[in-house]
Amino acid sequence: MSTRVLVLEDDVGLRTSLRLVLEDDGYEVEEAGDAEAALGIVGDASVDIMLVDLMLGGVDGFTFIRRVRPQTQAPIVVVSARDGVEDIVAALEAGADDYVTKPFDVEEVQARLRALLRRPSLASPGAPDADPASDPLTHEAEVVVLDSGDGPLVFDRAAAHLRRGERDIHVTMTEYKLLCVLSDNLGRVLSRTALLEHVWDRGFFGDERIVDVHVRRLRKKMEVDPADPQTLVTVRGLGYRLDAR
Q: Is the pLDDT of residue 239 over 90?
A: yes
Helix (H) or strand (E) segment spanning residue 168: strand 167-169
**DSSP label of 28:** E
Per-residue confidence (pLDDT) for residue 83, from 0 to 100: 82
Compute the distance between CA of residue 142 and CA of residue 157 in angstroms, rounded to an integer: 5
**DSSP label of 144:** E
Per cent of the chain over pLDDT 70 is 84
Residue bearing the bigger pLDDT, 147 or 205: 147
Contacts of 23 (CB under 8 A, 6+ apart): 29
Per-residue confidence (pLDDT) for residue 134, from 0 to 100: 40
Q: Is the pLDDT of residue 16 over 50?
A: yes
Average pLDDT value for residue range 198-227? 78
Ramachandran angles phi, psi of 60, nearest 5°? -80, 175
Residue bearing the bigger pLDDT, 164 or 63: 63
Q: Is the pLDDT of residue 147 over 70?
A: no
Contacts of 224 (CB under 8 A, 6+ apart): 148, 149, 150, 230
Instruction: Say how far residue 116 (Cα) sits from the centre of its chain.
Output: 8
Mean pLDDT of the chain: 82
Taking alpha carbons only, the member of 67, 63, 88 closest to residue 78 is 88
Assign 3-state DSSP to the chain and report helix, strand, coil percentages, each to 5: 40, 20, 40
Per-residue confidence (pLDDT) for residue 201, from 0 to 100: 58
Average pLDDT value for residue range 164-179? 82
Compute the distance between CA of residue 76 and CA of residue 52 in angstroms, rounded to an integer: 7
Confidence of residue 120 (pLDDT cuts 50, 70, 90): low
Per-residue confidence (pLDDT) for residue 207, from 0 to 100: 66
Compute the distance between CA of residue 235 and CA of residue 229 in angstroms, rounded to an integer: 11
Q: Is the pLDDT of residue 137 over 70?
A: no
Domains in the chain: ranges and CATH: 4-118 (3.40.50.2300), 125-242 (1.10.10.10)
Q: Is the pLDDT of residue 52 over 50?
A: yes
Q: Is the pLDDT of residue 125 over 70?
A: no
Per-residue confidence (pLDDT) for residue 164, from 0 to 100: 83
Average pLDDT value for residue range 179-205? 81
Q: How many CB atoms lie within 10 A of CB 181?
A: 18
Contacts of 37 (CB under 8 A, 6+ apart): none
